[in-house]
Each structure stands twice: as C-alpha cells, then as structure tokens.
Amino acid sequence: MRKIWKRTIILVMILVVLFAAGSIIAINMKPEPPVLEIEQARQALALARTVKADTYAKETFAQAQLLYDSAMAFWNRENEKFFLKRDFTAVAQTSALSAQISERAIEESNRSVNDLETSITTKIKKLNQLVDEVKVLSRFPLPQRISDKMAKGRLALSEGEAAYDGELLIQANMKLTEAESNLKAAHSDAYKLINNYFNSYNSWKSWKAQTIKNSKNSNSTAILVDKFAGKCYVYKNGSVTHEFDAELGKNWIGDKRQKGDKVTPEGLYKITDKKEGARTKYHRALLINYPNDEDKKRFAAEIKNGTLPKKSKIGNLIEIHGHGGKGTDWTDGCVALTNKDMDKLYKLVQNGTPVTIIGSSITLDEILKSQK
C-alpha cells in the first residue's frame, strides 16, 4: 500500500513538472504583438496630421489612416483567438505600410504648402498691383456694375490676405481667386470704357491747340477745362495765367448726350452771360452756349438713328459757377469752382470769352505710366 502511495505521489509530481514545463514552453511560444511597429505607425500618422497632410495631401493621408485602422482591426481580431493560434504578421506589415504612407503624405503636404505659399504670395503681389491700376481708373466716373466688382475684389483680397496671415492657405487661395476674378473683370471693363473714351483724344488735342493759338494771336483771354485733370485754366496771349481746381458733372466721362445725364459737355464754346447776385444760386456763374450747333446736330442724329429715345431732350444751362470745393464731382453737368476762385475768374472774362472743354490734355498711356 505504501509503495502504491509513493508511486502515485511520484506520478503527480512528474505531471506537475511536465505541466509547468509545458506552460513555460507555451508562454515562450506565445506570439508577441508588433507593439513597436504599431507605435511607429501611430506617431507617423500624428506627425502627418501636424503638418496638415489631412488637408494638403488628402488622398495619401486617408490611405495611411485606413492602413492604420486596418492594422488595429487585425490586432483586435487576433487577440480574440486562443493565444497559441494568434498571428500578428498582418498587423506588423500593415502598420509598417501605414508608417511608410504617412511619411509620403508628410512629403506631399510640405511640398503642397510650399507651392501654395509661393502661389499665394505671387498672387497677392499681382492683385495689389492690379488694385493700384484700378485706383488710377477710378478717377473716371464708372458705371455702378464696375464699381461693385472693384469693391468686391478689394474686399476679397483683404480677406485673402488675412487668411494667409492666419496660415489658412486654402481659404486664402479661394478668396484670392475670387478677388482675381472681380478685379480683372472690373479692370477689363473699365479699361475698355475709358479706352473708348480716349478715342476722342485727337479732337481734344486739336481744340486745345486751337484755343491756345487763338489766344496768342489775338492777345486775348480763353478758358480751358481739362476734365481728367479736374482743372480750369485761364490763358492770356497763349500762356496760362491762372489755374483752378474744378469739379464736374457726376458722370463726366464722355460727351453730354441729353438732359439729365449729368455729363459735362466737351467742345468749343463761349461765355454768353455773366451772372451774380439774385440771378444765380451758385454765388457767381458764367453761362456758356451749350448746346452749340455741333451739339444740336449730334443730338438730332442720335434721335434719328435710335441711340437716344425719341422723348429725350437736349441739355442746356451749362455754366462755370461757384459753390465748388466739395472734393468730388457732383454737378448736373456744369463746372464748379470755389467761390474764391470764381471771384477771380469772373473778373478775368467777359461775354464772348472762349471756353474749351476737353477730356484730357494727355493720353491714356501717359496717365497710366505716370501712376506707376
């Protein structure tokens, strides 16, 4: 009996030793998860997000993120298995590939950011140059549709610059694209309108030369109004003796076509009446003979060919008068001087004094070059 008991104890001890040895062997054979590979993939993905690869390298970043998520899904699936049956090969391979793709996304993002920053800074510079050119053109009274485009363009440019300063490159680029669209359209439309207006330059040049020549030959006084310059010049014996700031019709670009268009007429005129006191509400005034025969002929032709409605009326009562100095063009078509300047001019002229009104003394190219 004692022998049987001893044998049993020995057998149990052997089994315990075998179980312990087996457990140790099994534990040593347990597959280890690729913790290092997973951590490297996580860190690479986080770095890619830090450099905004999710914004500037979207597709590549999304691929890296998908691979990382797949690696975690593989890990969870293997952890659900009996530990001796686990296989983390797919986890390790997918994690490594995720890290590799994240690095590519980082490179793409950095390259995209650099390219976008270069593009944006170049665009901002060019748009500010365009704004400066538009400012020159804004001296001319432009249609509301063009002014609205200019305003929208300047606002979008300002917002784009602010977004760029805040490192919001995509928003900045979108705003600058909007600014570019509006400013280029405004500049193009304004330039076409003004360039067409300057088709009359040769006539202006001829009128001015004729006025100066007549003043010199007859040793007489003449008035020249330069609409673009916003000036009223007095000539005596062919030379300028006085220069006054002048304010014009609100829509002074072009020649006056009809009553109510608020355009200051252009052409060769003369003073027909000198008004002061109760005879004028503008301190003092010099009435000119608008419309002259050329104006009447042109008006009749426009009515006949339909470029003006048949009910249109030709304008009249165009004057050089006081109450100027408002700092803007505001009249219904007249030329306004300050009361002080009007007093000086009033004494220098008389009925019959020539009054020449031109669009500009210099070409459009000269105007644009002078502003650069």
pLDDT tens, 239-251?
Answer: 999 999 999 999 9
In a domain, 128, yes or no: no
More confident residue, 133 or 171: 171
The structural domain count of the chain equals 1
Q: Which pLDDT tens digit goes with each residue over 305-349?
A: 999 999 999 989 999 999 999 999 999 999 999 999 999 999 999
The mean pLDDT of 50-62, rounded to a whole number, is 92
Q: Which pLDDT tens digit goes with each residue over 163-214?
A: 999 989 999 999 999 999 999 999 999 999 999 999 999 999 999 999 999 9
What is the residue range of 305's domain?
Answer: 201-370
* Residue 22: band (very low, low, confident or very high) from pLDDT cuts 50, 70, 90: very low
Q: Which pLDDT tens digit goes with each residue over 41-51?
A: 999 999 999 99
* Residue 118: band (very low, low, confident or very high) from pLDDT cuts 50, 70, 90: very high
| Cβ-contact 327, 243 below 8 angstroms | no
In a domain, 162, yes or no: no
Give the pLDDT score at 24. 47
| Cβ-contact 275, 285 below 8 angstroms | yes
* Residue 28: band (very low, low, confident or very high) from pLDDT cuts 50, 70, 90: very low
Give the pLDDT score at 23. 47
For helices 89-137 and 35-50, the axis angle rounded to 10 degrees is 0
Query: Which of the 8 DSSP states describes residue 245?
Result: E
| Cβ-contact 244, 231 below 8 angstroms | yes
| Cβ-contact 107, 70 below 8 angstroms | no
Phi and psi at 33, nearest 5°, equal: -65, 150
The mean pLDDT of 96-111, rounded to a whole number, is 93
Percent of the chain scoring above 70 in pLDDT: 91
**Is the model's pLDDT at 128 over the cut of 70?**
yes
Q: What is the mean pLDDT of the chain?
A: 90
Q: Which pLDDT tens digit goes with each residue over 5-17?
A: 666 666 656 555 5
| Cβ-contact 228, 364 below 8 angstroms | no
Give the pLDDT score at 138. 79
* Residue 2: band (very low, low, confident or very high) from pLDDT cuts 50, 70, 90: low
What does the block give as tokens for 116?
């976008």
Q: What is the pTM of this model?
A: 0.73
In a domain, 355, yes or no: yes
**Is the model's pLDDT at 65 over the cut of 80?**
yes
Compute how many other C-beta atoms are within 10 angstroms of the C-beta atom of residue 21: 10
* Residue 1: band (very low, low, confident or very high) from pLDDT cuts 50, 70, 90: low
Give the pLDDT score at 31. 64
Long-range CB pairs of 118-124, under 8 A, 24+ apart, other chains included: 119/173, 120/160, 120/164, 120/169, 120/172, 120/173, 120/176, 121/164, 123/173, 123/176, 123/180, 124/157, 124/160, 124/161, 124/164, 124/176
Q: Which pLDDT tens digit goes with each residue over 256-287?
A: 999 999 999 999 999 999 999 999 999 999 99
Give the pLDDT score at 5. 60
3-state class of 251 per DSSP? coil
In a domain, 3, yes or no: no
Give the pLDDT score at 134. 79
| Cβ-contact 294, 207 below 8 angstroms | no
What does the block give as tokens for 98?
């995720």
In a domain, 234, yes or no: yes
In a domain, 205, yes or no: yes
Q: What is the CATH number of the domain that holds 285?
A: 2.40.440.10
| Cβ-contact 68, 105 below 8 angstroms | no
The mean pLDDT of 130-141, rounded to a whole number, is 83
In a domain, 158, yes or no: no
Percent of the chain scoring above 90 in pLDDT: 76
In a domain, 353, yes or no: yes
**Is the model's pLDDT at 21 over the cut of 60?**
no
